[in-house]
Amino acid sequence: MYTCRVLAIFVLVLCGIVSGFGQKSNGNTFEIVTESDTSFSIYKGKAKQLILTQVAKPDERPYIHPIMAPDGQSPVTEFRPNHHLHQTGLFWGLKRVNGRDYFMKWKGDYWKRVSTKITARQGKQVSWQTVYNLLDSTGQTTLVETQNWTLQEVGGKFMLDLEWKGQARTDVTMGKFYVGGLFVRMPWTKELAGEVINATGQTNKQAEAQRSEWLDVGVQRRGRSDWAHFTLFDHPQNKAFPTPWRVDNEFGVGPSRQIIDDWTIPKGETETIRYRILIYTGPINQSQIQEVAKAYQKIDPH
């Protein structure tokens, strides 16, 4: 009788553990929902918590906005703030591409959508792709830009991986400039606290144009005491690694090879650049960030 009772208790406990794992798995499952021919959104779990929206219009630069905090309580990206109307959440825009400005210019005389594709619609990891032509002043394609994105959740934090590919239709030169490439705009105003810190410990404007393996930007959430953060990680296969970073006066940040010097893509060749992005709330944990950086740097995508 005693043995039977012990066995019954063991079975109940085991079922509870399995059930708990099942609930955790469901909670961490993402789904990409196509909402129109110009956007799709990613939702999490049975509650359909919005995580982010990818906007991909036929005649406008693609961008991701909003991105929601992992707790679902507020967005952590900002769309076209008064001080930088060309900045749209999380986006990629190069400067001085054969003299053309794809960072400040986002409309159809510069950008033309080729395709969008959802490559993994549902699961613990989802992925998608956008492809755009970057147009010259005559409407001809200078560069074909492909963005491959992957989203997963790790330890209560969202993790985005970007693989950017630029295929040159002609000889392309990106002129030296203080910004150009991946960029994130968070919702910050002067009454809110904020801080940038990089892998070498440089903070705020000290980190401007400095080379670093990673950079964290955090701002206080409006109406709350806690902070939201983006940590962006460089990859050693990127030719500028460790890449220098743009840090503007309103805590807009992004890695940019253009800060160093001109760089080129010869006609017919493709350049690949990779970054990882960690999105979280609460205090920064630099030792944990360093562990993420080490793990990312060991990844060989080839």
For every one of its 302 residues, what pLDDT tens digit does the chain have, with 9 covering 90 and above? Answer: 444 443 343 333 333 333 332 333 345 799 999 999 999 999 999 999 999 999 999 999 999 999 999 999 899 999 776 776 577 789 999 999 999 999 999 999 999 999 999 999 999 999 999 999 999 999 999 999 999 999 999 999 999 999 999 999 999 999 999 999 999 999 878 889 999 999 999 999 999 999 999 999 999 988 787 999 999 999 999 999 999 999 999 999 999 999 999 999 999 999 999 999 999 999 999 999 999 999 999 999 87
Nearest to 98 by CA among 138, 57, 131: 138
pTM score, whole prediction: 0.89
- What is the C-alpha to C-alpha distance for residues 272 and 83, in angstroms, rounded to an integer? 31
Q: CB–CB of 121/40 below 8 Å?
A: no
What single DSSP character describes residue 29? -
- What is the C-alpha to C-alpha distance for residues 218 and 201, in angstroms, rounded to an integer? 14
Residue 244 lies in a domain: yes
For 81, the domain range is 2-297
Q: Domain count of the chain?
A: 1
> How far lies 128's CA from each of 112, 165, 285, in Å?
18, 14, 30
Residue 258 lies in a domain: yes
φ/ψ (deg, to 5) at 13: -65, -45
Burial 229-256 (b: 16+ CB within 10 A, else e): bbbbbbbeebebbbbbbbbbebbbbbbb
Residue 302 lies in a domain: no
Residue 80 lies in a domain: yes
Residue 259 lies in a domain: yes
Please report the beta strands in 59-178, taking only residues with DSSP state E, as ranges in sequence order: 63-67, 90-93, 111-120, 122-123, 125-135, 141-154, 157-168, 172-174
Q: CB–CB of 94/103 below 8 Å?
A: yes
